[in-house]
Amino acid sequence: MGSYKFILSGGGTGGHIYPAIAIANELKRRYPDAEFLFVGAKDRMEMEKVPQAGYKIEGLWITGIQRKLTLKNLLFPIKLISSLMRANSIVSKFKPHAVIGTGGFASGPLLKMATTKGIPCVLQEQNSFAGITNKLLKDKVKKICVAYEGMEKFFPKDKIILTGNPVRSDLVELKATKEEALDYFELTTTKKVLLVLGGSLGARRINQLVADHLAYFEGLGLQVIWQCGKGYYETYKAHQSANIKVHAFLNSMDKAYVAADFIISRAGAGAVSELCLVGKPTFFIPSPVVAEDHQTMNALALVKQDAAVMIREKELDEQFKMQFESVFNTSEKQEELSRNIKAMALPNATADICDEIEKLIQ
């Protein structure tokens, strides 16, 4: 039982890395003596984050194809051949019992070589619009774990398992009380709280929106927990006050979610999955510059279920106050959004994905 070996590959962004780490942690809990190896793209954030989580990682010399004519694209065929050769060597040497891909450039060559050797492979697709790497691998892998209904338009129906996305274990059951969370952020219990999330790096347009509307929020009697991102903290820290709490990064996301009454967020797959568990009225402002506009697709999947409000960046000036007040001023709308987004939560995602992996190796 303890001699299993697993390779996990996914990276480029936290949305691919953290699900892979969550899956590895659950497999390690089930098989304490198992061996784990991650494969990522050299010079990407996984080369730092995976070792921090306690796992070994190998890097491939691979990047994606640029969506415009660029000299970097001329190197792509060379990088791809190099990565396929390196991936073949890694798989041959490590001899895994199963390989798990969570998306990103590096998972393509790695899973391609693993499938040619007959090793059972599982894909985990976080978004409602499938990534190009996972679409290319769909016919060779054994199972595809997804987070949204209707993924048959991208993948073979008989391979799809609806599991949801792995999220941090402390968010599956939020243990802090409202009073404890407000005290942690030095906020009062007499006013409602708006939580603003732009991701660890921050979101320029969301930060501009919040900075321009601070007086508006205070006029509504709101307190604000504003996670602006480390690259923007120096710009916005001067707005710190009794009612406005500016943070480069939130180390206690569980307390931030408990403290919040309303949430403004990007619509990355990980954020959406977390916010479904949290179950608070949420305004999604999708990033317009991500691959295949997948954040908009993620947000729309919830909007169609009356589970969230979406405002496109280009519509913020015209739409934001109207959309915000339509929720803020109506308790019935708040309750509807909370109820519907909570109904879309899949809290057992990590365990369900690992169950599928276990079926393949046993």
Cα gap 119→115, rounded to integer Å: 5
- 15 annotated ligand binder: yes
- CB neighbour burial string for 71-82, b if at least 16 within 10 angstroms, e if fewer: eeeeeeeebbee
- 127 annotated ligand binder: yes
- For residue 362, how far is the Cα from the chain centroid? 30
- 13 annotated ligand binder: yes
- 14 annotated ligand binder: yes
Q: Which stretches does DSSP call E strand in 103-243?
A: 121-125, 143-146, 160-162, 192-197, 222-227
- 190 annotated ligand binder: no
Q: Is the dihedral of CA 142, 147, 152, 154 positive or negative?
A: negative
Cα gap 284→296, rounded to integer Å: 9
CA nearest neighbour of 270 among 30, 25, 20, 6 = 20
- 319 annotated ligand binder: no
CB–CB of 245/226 below 8 Å?
A: yes
Cα gap 276→124, rounded to integer Å: 18
Strands 262-265 and 192-197: parallel
Write the Ramachandran bin of 284: left for phi over 0, alpha for psi from -120 to 50, otherwise beta: beta
Cα gap 279→264, rounded to integer Å: 13
Q: Which residues are annotated as a binding site?
A: 13-15, 127, 168, 200, 295
Show binding-site residues for UDP-N-acetyl-alpha-D-glucosamine.
13-15, 127, 168, 200, 295
